Amino acid sequence: MKLKTTYLLILLTIILQSCTSVNYLENSIKLYGKSDDKSLLRFNFKEQLNNLGHLAEPWATNTYDGKGSLWVNKNTFQKQDSLTNSRGKVYTSKTDITNNTLLYLDYGDKELLPITEELFFEKLINTARYTPITLLHHFYNNKEDVKFTTTGEHVIYALEIDKYPIQLFINKSNNLVDKITYLSYDELYGDITTSFVYSSYIKNEFYTYPAHIQIEKINGKVIDIVEILNSINDNPVKLLEKPENYQIAKSSIEKNPEIQTTPYNDYIHFIDLAHTDDKVMVVEFKDYMLVAEAPINPKNGELIISEVKKIAPLKPIKYFVFGHHHPHYLGGLRPFVHKEATILCTDISENYVKYIAEAPHTINPDSLQLEPKPIKTQIIKDSLIIGKNNKMKIYFMGEKSSHTKDYLIYYFPNDKLLFEDDLCWIPKKGPIKKARSREIGLYNIIKDLKLEVDTIIQSWPIESHKVKTVIPFADLEKAVNINN
């Protein structure tokens, strides 16, 4: 009897708890406005968007100023906005998520983007950038799958959308959403949390909304700000026409890796990775190997390591080096850290390299996640000689590249060969054109260092852009000597 009562009590507590917790969700929704299908809340906003780009330094961002409007009710999220880049160029976009249908006109596009499941969920989650309303309703509509925990301050609701675990933090004192976070996987940075932090709530007779939203991307490394300027009740708008053949396609499949190793001479080998459009260099020394460049993700790093093992099964990879910090040269770094290679870099990219090597990859574990190893770095200041008889020389080029501050180039005096990442743009066919700043930079450093070069080999691109990857030095010289 006593036992039965205890069970009943526990059961009652669980039911009560889950009821009150759903209540927080319900109460929260009520605060954000009574919404029906006929009327919508319109919010006008301005924003600052910062995106990581292929820029001169790690973590540097391109900044855009944006403004626009959104129309929201329980079944609808519509947005029309424009972004202006630092050069004053304006891009507009339109988004319409109504009853689980997504229509999307991307920035600068004239036609709607084909919709994949991935894009649908990405846009659904990204509504949180402007308002928590859409996700609040999504959580409520999927309440059977929603889990929750409570802390002193919050009830935290958790739901998986596609493969992303999303958390909604409702403040117990006022039922307002303080924060929404989601966890996702990035090939370069591993597990990344994005947070939408709501503040400066404005309350009127009918509804409440946050006027300030801070978006913390890539674990807070990049911050965006959205400011809601005002709100009104509005009628439905038609931003986009639904195509007759509308469908949501399965998400795109990754390209199969295509890898080919070619010896250049008895100690230099090049590995072409067709699926990333990159050329990787492997140099064999008496007792060890050096690898220069590894594109995009840890998987490619593993592939390159298995190719190196075919070239010299018994020699360890002592050095990994990348010509600059962009993903096509550095993205496959982690497997080399796992193999205990020393990472050669400049002091400009050292911290960045450490961040990548130490980033947790629990969602998609690689060798370094499964068996963590400390990263070993060695800084290149002006130059570094590797091997006997000046076998290989690495030179710091930095800003002279007109591309990044950490640029390195590789030189083999005995072969009159120079390997670099992405400085030459000599067409495969047709006449050579006047040299651009990167080519002029490369030509000047070759002359300044008095390097004798016959051939330049370039890492990227190997197929696209119709440019040469094996470049006679005479071509570069010709391009530089064209006057107009």
Q: Which contiguous run of DSSP H or E holds residue 437?
A: helix 437-448
112 is written with which tokens? 């709607």
Q: Which residue lies nearer to Zn ion by CB, 123 or 328? A: 328
Q: Which stretch binds Zn ion (CB under 5 A): 253-261, 320-328, 374-382, 435-443?
A: 320-328
54 is written with which tokens? 């292929």
- Candidate list 307, 422, 439, 475; residue touching Zn ion; CB under 5 A: 422
Q: Which residue lies nearer to Zn ion by CB, 166 or 321? A: 321
Q: Which stretch binds Zn ion (CB under 5 A): 83-91, 218-226, 393-401, 418-426?
A: 418-426
Q: Which residue lies nearer to Zn ion by CB, 119 or 476? A: 476
- Least separation, in Å, of the C-beta of 54 and Zn ion? 5
Name residue, tokens 């593993």: 302
Could you tell me if 462 and 274 are in contact, meaning their C-beta atoms sit under 8 angstroms apart?
yes
Give the long-range contacts of residues 439-442, CB within 8 A, separation 24 or more.
439/476, 439/479, 439/480, 440/402, 440/480, 441/397, 441/400, 441/401, 441/402, 441/403, 442/397, 442/401, 442/409, 442/476
- Least separation, in Å, of the C-beta of 160 and Zn ion? 36
Residues 471 and 416: their CA atoms lie apart, in Å, by: 12
- Least separation, in Å, of the C-beta of 420 and Zn ion? 10
| Window 178 to 197, contacts with Zn ion (CB under 5 A) | none
Could you tell me if 346 and 406 are in contact, meaning their C-beta atoms sit under 8 angstroms apart?
yes
Binding track, positions 368-407, relative to Zn ion; x by CB under 5 A: ----------------------------------------
Q: Which residue lies nearer to Zn ion by CB, 124 or 442? A: 442
Kindly list the distances between the CA atom of residue 390 and the CA atoms of 115, 273, 416, 454, 479, in Å, as whole numbers in the listed order: 55, 29, 12, 17, 29
| Identity of the residue numbered 131 | T
Kindly list the distances between the CA atom of residue 306 and the CA atoms of 10, 28, 97, 276, 341, in Å, as whole numbers in the listed order: 57, 54, 45, 17, 15
Q: Which residue lies nearer to Zn ion by CB, 33 or 295? A: 295
Q: Which stretch binds Zn ion (CB under 5 A): 27-35, 191-199, 415-423, 449-457?
A: 415-423
172 is written with which tokens? 């117990």
Is 302 a binding residue for Zn ion by CB under 5 A? The answer is no
Cis peptide bond prior to 335, omega within 30° of 0: no
Could you tell me if 272 and 282 are in contact, meaning their C-beta atoms sit under 8 angstroms apart?
no
Residues in contact with Zn ion, counted by CB under 5 A, come to a total of: 2
- Least separation, in Å, of the C-beta of 353 and Zn ion? 16
Q: Which stretch binds Zn ion (CB under 5 A): 28-36, 277-285, 421-429, 438-446?
A: 421-429
Give the long-range contacts of residues 369-373, CB within 8 A, separation 24 or more.
369/190, 371/338, 373/337, 373/338, 373/340
| Window 101 to 160, contacts with Zn ion (CB under 5 A) | none
- Candidate list 74, 79, 94, 326; residue touching Zn ion; CB under 5 A: 326
Q: Which residue lies nearer to Zn ion by CB, 366 or 406? A: 406
Q: Which stretch binds Zn ion (CB under 5 A): 164-172, 287-295, 307-315, 323-331?
A: 323-331
Residues 394 and 478: their CA atoms lie apart, in Å, by: 25
Whether the CA torsion 364, 368, 369, 371 is positive or negative: it is positive
- Least separation, in Å, of the C-beta of 325 and Zn ion? 9
- Least separation, in Å, of the C-beta of 421 and Zn ion? 6
Q: Which stretch binds Zn ion (CB under 5 A): 1-9, 101-109, 219-227, 325-333?
A: 325-333
Q: Which residue lies nearer to Zn ion by CB, 302 or 422? A: 422
Q: Which residue lies nearer to Zn ion by CB, 326 or 405? A: 326
Binding site for Zn ion (CB under 5 A): 326, 422
